[in-house]
Structure 1
């Protein structure tokens, strides 16, 4: 009793310290780390996240596409094939690796260890990145909440440690001696990882998935689950039981053949451990099987045929899969075939590839519905192994991701998580600068973040949004209808064609059984070209180009009003080539006023000398960044708080080590939430 009482006191003090001292801040300028190049040497290549390659758009179709005729019913009860109601978190969430290592054959100047949690916060839970919080606030404004998964390949060899790292980081790596396609090292993580997540959720409504390590199923290491349940509370959605088990055999993680029945047997052992673990009071919030199908070693049907769903449905929060439309592994690791972005750009500019890709899961989503389980695309983006130069950051790719999201929703996926990969990948929804000498407005928001924000706005907060693919006759002009509260609410209209001549500008004529309204309001997502990476705007607003973002939309909100012909029962919506339009059938809809989120976070930072600095974007794009040791001295939004924040972190860490020693390395009870 004395030991438990002491631990409770320490936990209480530590909790108050964490809750009282959380500081939000942006990138603080420190001493410059030069990356000079000797005379005669080749210039440093640009990091993938800021790659400037602009592709040539495909030739416009002949004859031109100029018209799209849509006729729908006003009442959802009269519409066949409507999806399930989409009730949670705006559909798209995000998948974040705990750690990733940038590996480059361009020389040592580009080789940098990069903790992907840096995309969320710096190395400790007591400081949170302002631009990240602002981005999440924009999603929360539209959908009410956000889903983020911490895990991926790195979760498999993650190890909990009670030590406090000298550089103050939440995570560190060590050589795992593993053979993995992504060459990810083993990760050491501290309790601060969970406080980081909890502190984020106390400011913006983020809910989390955490991944359990599955490298040793003879002795399961459950600390991620134990600490996650104890510290995150209701903000922990579920635990992932194994990541891409269909690749365990090909990647030498298991003796071959490793089959779906072998994975099911490991899940049985996992749940035996869960049932005897008092530190895991919630026994039925897991996601599986999370197969990739990238090499088609296993198909979903091979898993379901083992009786998987009936055997585990009472344990699962959702059924999960992971898949990318293609891969760039040859360029990254010399594995597979060469992928030519210019040659393949057109595959991201047609509805047909979306339909074929998502249709692969038709039977799986049907079975999930029968079992009463959500079906989630747990990791995806434009391409595995980092995405594609010229494609993944383009306006065209974001149109494709948006179409992909609507199509998954149409096929009764409940959610999908877009993967984030650091400075060495092309497809990031957002990324902090690769250097320590930037100010708040030097983040980069990728084109696919617009996709996530737009679909969140399309589905809204009602929890009743249902979607149907309207089967447009042209693969270049997909269209969807969205119903809320049983009534037609919005249309989502695409024009994938790139044609500056205007010959492929499309008129979408909408007819509604029961009559069109007198006017409709339209928000457009626009860029000059499908190949554009800059000057992207949603309803006239933008986050800015590379190294210009602080997570807030800039510019005036611009919504177009279109008068309909009520006599002819038609509304004509112009679609420039290229463009996307979200058409609001109710001109009084409150969601029309949503632009920049009303809740934002202060973005004024000062160094100890009370000054700020900027840096040439060209330097940022090739910067090696700075070390974790340097980052522990970063400033905060409040003048004079640098040393205080540092002392707070040390105090909390000492208390956490004491608590771990007293109660055997684990948090007991549910007092450490948010």
Structure 2
């Protein structure tokens, strides 16, 4: 979508009189010490999960999938580190590693003997599975899922062989952790275990495998023992697999003198087809209050986890599982949900969030191969990842996120307004403003919601720069842009579709006002255009991460700057006189 070149305040005064706009006043603390904010966000925070059976769709078979690799590299350039990738899901519990199998792909095991509705040894992978995984951008963190379900007489030999191959063969990417088993709380219903089976039994089996892998693989390689993640999922509610119960069962205790659990790992979805009893619409997804309601139980789990001193990660997440829903999870409205979810979970001090992907899912950020006769393409959700990556990279390892009180947004905007503050180097750097009230592409003269933001006298008269996450409407499947950029369906590279720089001056109190269209989000950043600053990469090099070739702070000079400043002053004066402030 091409946005008008007029400044937001011009659009505001022409299209939506301030006296009629619904509005909210926000006063984020200008200093991190006066705000309730997250810990520093890791540059790889906004990650992905890839179903193990689908790995080659994203990496390529004999030849690399350059489209996927470029899309991940974009995010690495913006944040300073590639998104953390989890290779895990149901199919990790079907896989057996065979060093003699040399194809790029997996094959059906013709000699399968294991238990399970789908047998725990039904898929064979070999060295080129890991060679393909190693194609992802340099230093990509990998959480790798090992098979817990297999329990033949040689189960320890198998997990040692597999984990040893992973440690030795991942050279370009960086092995971060091992997840032993996928969703063991479901093992009874999928035939992977027979009763009795509970969290205590799982803890015993998890610890035995972790100890064996450490003693035989990690320790000889000089790696730390706290390298493992016990996994769980939505069905942990009311079962023996809750964090407090696993802790009581001794999963955090020493075994042979070592602590093995480095992270609490849980899974969730906003909605899961065939499990969630009520239907889902795009409007439901865009009601941000529903996200808080659905995630309320996990907020408690996060607190319990952090109270143990072990970080919490959400390794499998998505708007709609298992493979999304057309015209809901693949829309621009889902991109707004994704942006909000990342920022919301950051405020809970969740250390990483991974959006799960399969090659045929309408909830995947991109389609990596030809599926159902449609060529690879980028979905709107990817643009939310790009926005979060640039927000994080903006602070170069110091970015912290705080939630702003939006309880005053009522009426038609109840549950549709979210606002967050972003801090860098202990000072307020940006605010993120989301209006998720559904407005479809077919609607003309879409309404807006006005945010009146006071960034404090310390920021008086400073410049702010506005970046838009936008599309023609909430139901748009294409045409999304972020910060003036679009990402090619051909090669995944970014191009600038809106050259305009939306720059304003804060007033003498550090305040400004902006109307955010229904079904749109903006980031207002102090002193420079988001994405134009140098981003320090994890390897110590730098990248501009910019939507433009020049890496300096952008500005508008001469007559155009004077006009924009005059418009700003007029709009602020009008807002005050109309009582909209």
TM-score exceeds 0.5: yes
How far off its partner does 1:304 sit? 3.5
Q: 1:178 to 1:506 in 2, by over 3 A?
A: farther
**3-state DSSP class of the match of 2:475?**
coil
Q: 1:268 to 1:118 in 2, by over 3 A?
A: closer
Q: Which runs of 5+ in 2 are unaligned?
A: 1-19, 410-414, 534-543, 550-581
**3-state DSSP class of the match of 1:73?**
coil
**3-state DSSP class of the match of 1:240?**
strand
Q: 1:209 to 1:253 in 2, by over 3 A?
A: same
How far off its partner does 1:407 sit? 0.7
Q: 1:249 to 1:371 in 2, by over 3 A?
A: same
**3-state DSSP class of the match of 2:508?**
coil
Name whichever of 584-593 and 527-536 sits farther off: 584-593
**3-state DSSP class of the match of 1:583?**
strand
Q: Is 1:193 aligned to residue 126 of structure 2?
A: no
Q: 1:590 to 1:349 in 2, by over 3 A?
A: closer
How far off its partner does 1:65 sit? 6.8
Q: Is 1:529 aligned to residue 529 of structure 2?
A: no
Q: Which residue of 2 aligns with 1:68?
A: 24
Task: Decide which of 463, 466, 485 is 2:400's aligned counterpart.
Answer: 466
Task: Decide which of 17, 22, 38 is 1:83's aligned counterpart.
Answer: 38
Task: Decide which of 385, 408, 432 is 1:492's aligned counterpart.
Answer: 432
Q: Which residue of 1 aligns with 2:368?
A: 432
**Alpha-carbon distance in 2 for matches of 1:395, 1:181:** 37
Task: Decide which of 96, 111, 121 is 2:59's aligned counterpart.
Answer: 121
**Alpha-carbon distance in 2 for matches of 1:524, 1:406:** 16
Contact residue 237 and residue 285 of structure 1 kept, 8 A: no
**3-state DSSP class of the match of 2:177?**
strand
Q: Is 1:507 aligned to residue 450 of structure 2?
A: yes
RMSD: 3.0
Q: Is 1:266 aligned to residue 199 of structure 2?
A: no
Q: Which residue of 2 aligns with 1:306?
A: 249
Residues 373-424 of structure 1 show CA distances to partners (whole Å, capped at 9, x for unaligned) of 331101111122212221110111111111111111010001111111122x
Q: 1:310 to 1:409 in 2, by over 3 A?
A: farther
Name whichever of 587-596 and 224-233 sits farther off: 587-596
**Alpha-carbon distance in 1 for matches of 2:218, 2:468:** 50
**Alpha-carbon distance in 1 for matches of 2:217, 2:289:** 50
**Alpha-carbon distance in 1 for matches of 2:373, 2:405:** 50
**Alpha-carbon distance in 2 for matches of 1:522, 1:180:** 53
**3-state DSSP class of the match of 2:210?**
helix
**Alpha-carbon distance in 1 for matches of 2:118, 2:271:** 15
Aligned length: 497
Q: Which residue of 1 aligns with 2:382?
A: 449
Q: Which residue of 1 aligns with 2:344?
A: 407
Q: Is 1:96 aligned to residue 50 of structure 2?
A: yes
Q: Which residue of 1 aligns with 2:9?
A: none
How far off its partner does 1:338 sit? 6.7
Q: Which residue of 2 aligns with 1:566?
A: 507
**Alpha-carbon distance in 1 for matches of 2:331, 2:34:** 38
**3-state DSSP class of the match of 2:170?**
helix
Q: Which runs of 5+ in 1 are unaligned?
A: 1-63, 100-115, 330-335, 599-674
Q: 1:310 to 1:453 in 2, by over 3 A?
A: farther
Q: Is 1:170 aligned to residue 105 of structure 2?
A: yes
How far off its partner does 1:326 sit? 1.7
Contact residue 519 and residue 564 of structure 1 kept, 8 A: yes
Q: Which residue of 1 aligns with 2:15?
A: none
**3-state DSSP class of the match of 2:382?**
helix
Task: Decide which of 311, 314, 319 is 1:382's aligned counterpart.
Answer: 319
Residues 476-508 of structure 1 show CA distances to partners (whole Å, capped at 9, x for unaligned) of 110100111101111111011134454630121
**Alpha-carbon distance in 2 for matches of 1:139, 1:182:** 36
**3-state DSSP class of the match of 2:321?**
coil
Q: Is 1:216 aligned to residue 150 of structure 2?
A: yes
Name whichever of 230-239 and 401-410 sits farther off: 230-239
